[in-house]
Amino acid sequence: MIEIRSLSVELGAFTLHNICLNINRSEYFIVLGPTGAGKTVLLESIAGVQPIKTGQIWLEGEDITGMKPEERKVSIVYQDYMLFPHYSVRNNILFGLKMRGYNPQDMAISLSKVVQLLSIEQLLSRKPNTLSGGEKQKVALARAIVTNPEVLLLDEPLGALDPQTRENVGQEILKLHEELGITVLHVTHDFEEAITMGDRIAVIGEGEIKQIGTTTDIFRKPNSEFVARFTMTGNIFSGLAMKERHGKTAFNLNGTKLIADTNLEGPCHASIRPEDILISSDTIANDGDNHFMGVITRFVNKGAIINVTVNLPPPVTCLLTRRTFEEMRLSIGQQVHLTFSPSSLHLF
């Protein structure tokens, strides 16, 4: 559907280099990366409003690299909506149809369809400055899809919204994607947003793609320290991996031996997600792999979740629900037992 071949963009001191992506038709594809990673530049390059240095962009088997933005069937929605402030909501939505020369009858049909889809009938005569953030984003979405684009580019569409509105607008976007079957390329710096909305994720950093995979791949098997840190893996260690026994690898971390279900050998990184570690005040019965004792050094209160840091050494972060935390009555300096499955330990 969209194929990006070795795309490079130079923008002052910033460079986006050698971006290669294949996005399937009707896929919800996420580009995840920190601020300044080049996410918006990537979207704008696909939309044709950002000149590229080298590379090609193909859409539905057609090379659109040299095509003008108005000729590509690609719409963009920005984080801060970019509604035309001098037009009413109705005229904002109709803008694309007018520019593309639709007749009044077709315009009325298309308008009615999108306003019903997004439930914004009551906003039509209002000016953008009288709308709430969520309403603005719905209008921006309506304006973007009314021209029936083949690809919808979303630049941090939930970034400027409060948590409640984020949830609602997020659901609206997923509904649009499902009902219209439109291909969506959504960029965000929010890992949870990426995991909950995307079919596949590309992690981007320092102007290049670091990893592409399904949400599970990115979540469970980060391929670099950058991806592991960005996807909030939490526990990332450097050490030496050696073959242990059939199908198992021992990861030596300054004398502490962690067992993993892989065949990797040599110096590498290991990561384990905090939620995969079981913590107990009493001895835990298991087959002996990855069973450790340590001392609690820190609690971080995150509301429903408590992060507990246990020094084995090294320090390892585990997660507890608030209810479990209160029931266990843990305290700083207390000795606890930790265990995790070898399949949870990811070596890279």
Partner 1 sequence: MNRILRIVRYIVSNKLTFTFFLLGLVIFFFIVVPLGKMLISSAEEPALFWTTVLDREVAAAIWLTLYTALIATIVGFIFGIPLAYFLARHEFFGKKLVEGLINVPIVIPHTAAGIALLFVFGRSFAVGRAFGSIGISFVDSTAGIVIAMLFVSVPFLIDSAKEGFKKVDVRLERVARTLGASPWQVFTHISFPLAKQSIVAGNIMMWARGISEFGAVIILAYHPMTAPILLFQRFEAFGLDHARPIAAILIIVSVLIFVILRMLVSRR
Q: Which residue has the tokens 């369809």?
A: 113
Q: Which is nearer to partner 1, 143 or 269 (CB)?
A: 143
Whether 187 contacts 157, CB under 8 Å? no
Q: Applying CB under 8 A, which of residues 82, 174, 195, 253 lies at the interface with partner 1?
A: 82
* Helix runs in the chain, H state only: 39-47, 89-99, 104-117, 133-145, 163-180, 191-197, 215-220, 225-230, 322-328
Residue from 28, 29, 78, 325 touching partner 1 (CB under 8 A): that is 78
Of 43-51, 117-125, 158-166, 220-228, which part binds partner 1 (CB under 8 A)?
43-51
Can you tell me which of 69, 159, 213, 313 binds partner 1, judged by CB under 8 A? 69
Which one, 82 or 328, has the nearer CB to partner 1? 82
2 binds partner 1 (CB under 8 A): no
- The length of the chain is 348
Cβ burial, residue 287 (10 Å; 0-12/13-18/19+): exposed
Nearer to partner 1, 176 or 277 (CB): 176
Residue 143 binds partner 1, judged by CB under 8 A = yes
Q: Mark the segment that binds partner 1 (CB under 8 A) among 27-35, 83-91, 262-270, 328-336.
A: 83-91
Stretch that binds partner 1, among 15-23, 54-62, 139-147, 242-250 (CB under 8 A): 139-147
**Least spacing, CB of residue 182 vs partner 1, in Å:** 14
In whole angstroms, give the CA distance from residue 310 to residue 337. Answer: 9
Q: How far is the CB of 44 from partner 1 (least distance, A)?
A: 7
Contact 202, 209 (CB under 8 A): yes
- Identified binder of partner 1 from the candidate list 85, 255, 267, 288, rule CB under 8 A: 85
For partner 1, the closer CB: 155 or 193: 155
DSSP per position, 204-232: EETTEEEEEEEHHHHHH--SSHHHHHHTT
Q: What is the gyration radius of the CA atoms in the chain, in angstroms?
A: 24
Give the pairing of strands 335-339 and 291-302.
antiparallel
CB of residue 47 to partner 1, shortest distance in Å: 5
Candidates 69-77, 185-193, 306-314, 337-345 — which segment interacts with partner 1 by CB under 8 A? 69-77
By C-alpha distance, which of 88, 182, 96 is closest to 135? Answer: 88
Nearer to partner 1, 43 or 228 (CB): 43
> 132 Cβ partners below 8 Å, 6+ apart?
165
Which helix (DSSP H) or strand (DSSP E) does residue 273 occupy? none
| Residue 44 binds to partner 1 (criterion: CB under 8 A) | yes
Residues that contact partner 1, how many (by CB under 8 A): 24
Among 45, 65, 75, 88, binds partner 1 (CB under 8 A): 75
- Residue 95 binds partner 1, judged by CB under 8 A: yes
Structure tokens at 326: 């209160």
Q: How far is the CB of 101 from partner 1 (least distance, A)?
A: 8
User: Which listed residue (35, 61, 68, 129) binds partner 1 by CB under 8 A?
Assistant: 68
Site for partner 1 in 148-177 (CB under 8 A): 149
Stated as kind and residue range, the H or E segment containing 306 is: strand 305-311
Confirm or reject binding of residue 86 to partner 1 (CB under 8 A): yes
Helix (H) or strand (E) holding 265: none
Give dist(CA 21, CA 59) in Å, integer: 12
Interface residues toward partner 1, by CB under 8 A: 44, 47-49, 68-70, 72, 74-76, 78, 82, 84-86, 95-96, 99-100, 143-144, 147, 149
